[in-house]
Amino acid sequence: MQFKPTSGHILLPPVWGFGIPRPMNTKEETNKTITEALSDWIRGVFSEQFGADIDLSGVGVVQAANPQFGDYQCNAAMSLAKVLKRPPRAVSEQVVANAPSHPAVDRLEIAGPGFINIYLSDAWLLQTVSAIDQDSQLGVPRSGAGHTVVVDYSSPNVAKPMHIGHIRSTIIGNSIDRLHRLLGYNVIADNHIGDWGTQFGIIMMGYRHFLDKDALARRPVEELERVYVKSYEKSREDENWLTQCREELVKLQSGDPENTALWREFIGLSLSEFDRIYKRLGVSFDLVRGESFYNDKLADTVALLEEKGMAEESEGATVVFLEEEKLPVCIVKKSDGGFNYATTDIATVASRVEEFRPDKIVYVTDERQQLHFKQFFTICRKLGCETELNHVWFGLMRLPEATFSTRQGNVIKLEALLDEAEQRAFDIVSASSPEMSEDDQREVARAVGIGAVKYADLSQNPQTTVTFTWDKALALDGNSGPYLQYAYARIASVHDKYTERFPDGNLDAFDIVLTEPIERELALKLIRFPDVVKRAASGYKPSTIADYLYELAQCYSSFYQNVPFLKAEEGIRESRVKLCGITAQVLRGGLQLLGIETPARI
RNA sequence: GCGCCCAUAGUUCAAUGGAUAGAGCAUCGGCCUCCGAAGCCGAAAAUUCAGGUUCGAAUCCUGAUGGGCGCACCA
């Protein structure tokens, strides 16, 4: 793990890192994506023709809506027509007539009201698509180099098993993490686990009175949850019990050795279970800092707020009013003297800013926390925090019947989901690949099952409510993870067959040529990958990657099914096999961004 | 009561303010003596309603309807 070295400022503001100026980014961007390069180019023409004093920031190119309109298109003439006081077609004509040549551009055409349709040069397309083969970045620029981003995701609670409600934060957060790493960001993935809070008094009482030691040995976290639920229920009807829970909590908070030891045990048991699941999901963190990590900073955080005149007493609690921002009041210290999550989150931001100097901090949680994040982001800004704070929220996971909840007991445990996924995949693999050894079948089924679960979640816009159904989460055909893995495995097979049948074949001796329309379409899709990655990262939407990969795989499948390659003549054959290889790389790289594995055989 | 989010084909989902709204599943019809049919090719099928902004709206604004979620001491 590398952290950006702290700057040599001696006169750092003393308190919590707030107010520290953001470090300058000294690295310049090295390369651009296709749309960035073409946009810069055509914006330059607009600027030269129509003067730099008008706002040209919106001038750019986009992928063409339809192949008949070229490969990329520029729609700027229409929107600028009014400002320029000229008909849009005249604007486009002037741009096209005066555009300097660009290596990527074969020709420009004007269509409709003033669209400029851009046709890419085949030579450039071939060169660009061939270059992907040698590039571990697959053409993706490291435009985030020199920037640090903290991604806060997953964040399960101690003493509660992970259920299907946790999968979204974990999977989406992990993909955002991977996207930023590919773009060159220094990413710090932090699992901010819920290891502190009022629930521990309840758990301790439950642990002391209801514990089944055998069950604890077998399924520790499940047992902890069971005693928690039982103790919680008792606390609601038994005033005396509730008081005892509070006393246990106070003892823990004041450092009582026995309760502290118990608390550490709960954390240890939970973390080992989380790790088991993270390992299955291929998720790893740079930091696992629970809320308790910030405990000793909470009092000072509230003191700072009071010092700045932002916090005041109200109804026995210490609160921050946010009326100017039209937000509800935010409690930073409870009337019983305890702190709550807003305080912890503020202290966490301060700590991260001080330690890592991030350019931004990204939180991945469900939609119910939107108000909380608005409140505490606002407070951080008022305290002088300049770091960009983003809340990436996603819709709740629901069951067809109702919202699932721990209390109603209608939860689906994450491990059960993963088990079921692997089993279903195994049934299919063992039926369709009986020649494979059972170990291999298991291994493939694992990758396919987990891939299906992940893809089902990542392939849709995060900001929608997901209704969980087994069939959807475990879909193995159509727009699914396994479809993409299948496409990949077929490609791997093509390459094997090629070396088998043409042992003397030399792929390097031949250049790629595009003879069929489907081949050009495939090449065009392949060179779009960098743009897609940038869009997915900036919008925090892994589904953008999933959409793209599905399109790519569909395009490839069509190519595969309709164009002969091993049976094609020499030259064409090698070209097509190479195109297959590049497609495989992009598929694999893209699936990696989603955390999905690509077995060579399925 | 106030606030946030959502509404697209039978159904589950796509669509950076741009040209003819795309897919999966389901339905119907083709394609395995041939490189892997978890596949390919084709058919039918949709922007909740009413206004507005714009050269151009599924997308932006206002309102209505229907749904989800949140709003003082849980996180």
The domains of chain A are located at 1-30+148-191+283-412, 34-121, 432-593
Nucleotides of B under 7 A from a protein CB: 3-6, 12-20, 23-25, 34-41, 55-56, 68-75
Looking at the predicted structure, is the pLDDT value of residue A200 above 80?
A: yes
Contact status, residue A387 vs residue A165, Cβ threshold 8 Å = no
User: Sheet of A148-152: strands edge to edge?
Assistant: A186-190, A148-152, A360-366, A388-394
Cα–Cα distance for residue pair A135/A130, rounded to 1 Å: 9
Looking at the predicted structure, is the pLDDT value of residue A466 above 90?
A: no
Say yes or no: Cβ of A566 under 7 A from any atom of strand B. yes
Q: Which of residues 448 to 487 on A have a Cβ less than 7 angstroms from any strand B atom?
A: 448, 459-461, 463-467, 472, 475-480, 482-483, 486
What number is the average pLDDT over the span A83-94? 93
Q: Which residue has the higher pLDDT, A442 or A25?
A: A442
Cα–Cα distance for residue pair A543/A470, rounded to 1 Å: 20
Q: Which residue has the higher pLDDT, A3 or A512?
A: A512
Looking at the predicted structure, is the pLDDT value of residue A11 above 70?
A: no
What number is the average pLDDT over the span A386-397? 92
- Mapped onto helix, strand or coil, the DSSP state of residue A300 is helix
Residue A73, nucleotide of least CA–C1' distance: B18
pLDDT computed for residue A17 by the predictor: 42
Contact status, residue A541 vs residue A461, Cβ threshold 8 Å = yes
Looking at the predicted structure, is the pLDDT value of residue A465 above 70?
A: yes
Looking at the predicted structure, is the pLDDT value of residue A9 above 70?
A: no
How many Å apart are A208 CA and B3 C1'? 43
How many Å apart are A376 CA and B1 C1'? 24
Packing angle, helices A220-237 and A239-253, rounded to 10: 130
Say yes or no: Cβ of A343 under 7 A from any atom of strand B. no
Looking at the predicted structure, is the pLDDT value of residue A492 above 60?
A: yes
Tokens read off for A369: 């926390």
List the end-to-end C-alpha distance of chain A, in Å, as a whole number: 34
Looking at the predicted structure, is the pLDDT value of residue A420 above 70?
A: yes
Cα–Cα distance for residue pair A456/A555, rounded to 1 Å: 20
Looking at the predicted structure, is the pLDDT value of residue A377 above 60?
A: yes
Looking at the predicted structure, is the pLDDT value of residue A408 above 90?
A: no
Q: Which of residues 125 to 154 on A have a Cβ less than 7 angstroms from any strand B atom?
A: none
pLDDT computed for residue A410 by the predictor: 59
How many Å apart are A10 CA and B57 C1'? 54
Cβ partners under 8 Å of residue A361, min gap 6? A149, A150, A152, A349, A352, A387, A388, A389, A390
Which of A4-8, A388-392, A398-402, A464-468 is least confident? Answer: A4-8
pLDDT computed for residue A29 by the predictor: 40
Cα–Cα distance for residue pair A582/A562, rounded to 1 Å: 18
Looking at the predicted structure, is the pLDDT value of residue A119 above 50?
A: yes
What number is the average pLDDT over the span A517-521? 94
Tokens read off for A311: 């916090």
- Single-letter amino acid code for the residue at A198: T
Looking at the predicted structure, is the pLDDT value of residue A2 above 80?
A: no
| C-alpha torsion sign, points A331, A334, A337, A338 | negative
What is the share, in percent, of chain A residues with pLDDT greater than 90?
A: 78
Cβ partners under 8 Å of residue A183, min gap 6? A140, A141, A142, A143, A144, A533, A534, A537
pLDDT computed for residue A540 by the predictor: 95
What is the maximum alpha-carbon separation in chain A?
86
CB-based burial of residue A251 (10 Å sphere; 0-12 exposed, 13-18 middle, 19+ buried)?
middle
Cα–Cα distance for residue pair A277/A517, rounded to 1 Å: 45
pLDDT computed for residue A468 by the predictor: 83
A123-128 long-range contacts, Cβ below 8 Å, gap at least 24?
A125/A514, A125/A520, A125/A523, A125/A524, A125/A527, A126/A511, A126/A512, A126/A513, A126/A514, A126/A523, A128/A34, A128/A104, A128/A527
CATH topology of domain A34-121: Gyrase A; domain 2 (3.30.1360)
Residue A74, nucleotide of least CA–C1' distance: B18
What is the share, in percent, of chain A residues with pLDDT greater than 70?
A: 93
How many Å apart are A461 CA and B26 C1'? 23
Cβ partners under 8 Å of residue A208, min gap 6? none
pLDDT computed for residue A538 by the predictor: 94
Looking at the predicted structure, is the pLDDT value of residue A455 above 80?
A: yes
What number is the average pLDDT over the span A461-477? 86
Cα–Cα distance for residue pair A111/A89, rounded to 1 Å: 8
pLDDT computed for residue A21 by the predictor: 41
- Mapped onto helix, strand or coil, the DSSP state of residue A321 is strand
H-state helical runs in A15-54 = 34-50
How many Å apart are A71 CA and B14 C1'? 20
Cα–Cα distance for residue pair A389/A377, rounded to 1 Å: 7
How many Å apart are A561 CA and B32 C1'? 11
Cα–Cα distance for residue pair A434/A427, rounded to 1 Å: 11
Say yes or no: Cβ of A369 under 7 A from any atom of strand B. yes
pLDDT computed for residue A90 by the predictor: 95
Confidence of residue A285 (pLDDT cuts 50, 70, 90): very high
Which of A115-119, A343-347, A566-570 is least confident? Answer: A566-570
pLDDT computed for residue A336 by the predictor: 87
pLDDT computed for residue A445 by the predictor: 96
CATH topology of domain A1-30+148-191+283-412: Rossmann fold (3.40.50)
What does the pLDDT look like over A25-71, one tens digit per residue? 443 445 899 999 999 999 999 999 997 688 898 899 999 999 999 99
pLDDT computed for residue A14 by the predictor: 33
Give me the torsion for CA of A404, A410, A415, A417, rounded to 10°.
-80
Cβ partners under 8 Å of residue A504, min gap 6? none
Query: At which residue do the structure tokens 């109200």 appear?
Result: A314
How many Å apart are A542 CA and B48 C1'? 29
Cα–Cα distance for residue pair A560/A487, rounded to 1 Å: 9
Answer yes or no: CATH 3.30.70.141 is held by domain A432-593: no
**pLDDT, chain A, mean:** 90
pLDDT computed for residue A401 by the predictor: 63
Say yes or no: Cβ of A26 under 7 A from any atom of strand B. no
- Complex confidence, ipTM: 0.96
How many Å apart are A599 CA and B65 C1'? 49
pLDDT computed for residue A471 by the predictor: 84
